[in-house]
Amino acid sequence: MSAKKDVFICHANEDKADVVRPLVLAFEEADISSWCDEAEIIWGDSITQKVNEGLRISRYVIVVLSDSFLEKNWPQRELNSALHLEASTGEVRVLPLLAGTRKTKKHILNAYPILNDKFYLIWDGNPQTVVDHLKKRLGKQNAFSGDPLRFAGFRPKLNRIYRS
């Protein structure tokens, strides 16, 4: 059995170049361990066995929700498995990451109404945003890079107060 991972990345292959690979690189730089199919599955492996193992050993499952995701059976099966694990343990497992338009969001929430209850992130092309939120979820110190007051929206207010 492989070592425990912080996060499993569930995605459609079409999202690999623009979303998944930048995330994996950012996670590596932030010392966040991740399970991604192209790094974990090699020639001759049982895909089902490897994916099941990845889901078992990962603390969280980031689900890259896109139009491509909705067209693929495999990532939807991964999401269903992660939702089942979440429901059976009562612990947060699924971390939705919306990579698409408002129309995409509507289609996804229509297909998976259970996700309506979840706080989700919107992919803005900056993997650091995901890293910052994931660090907070993992309980790692210094969860937000840069000025934490600016991130929380307080710095401009403080500047106005102290300049008065």
Residue 1 to residue 118: CA distance in whole angstroms: 31
CB 116 within 8 A of CB 108: no
Domains of the chain: 5-163 (3.40.50.10140)
Indicate if 78 belongs to the active site.
Answer: yes
Contacts of 114 (CB under 8 A, 6+ apart): 83
Q: Which residues of the chain have pLDDT under 70?
A: 1, 141-164
* Model confidence pLDDT, tens digit, residues 33-64: 999 999 999 999 999 999 999 999 999 999 99
Residue 144 to residue 152: CA distance in whole angstroms: 9
* Model confidence pLDDT, tens digit, residues 66-82: 999 999 999 999 999 99
State residue 13's pLDDT score: 97
Catalytic residue chosen out of the listed positions 53, 78, 86, 91: 78
Residue 4 to residue 28: CA distance in whole angstroms: 15
pTM for this prediction? 0.83
CB 1 within 8 A of CB 54: no
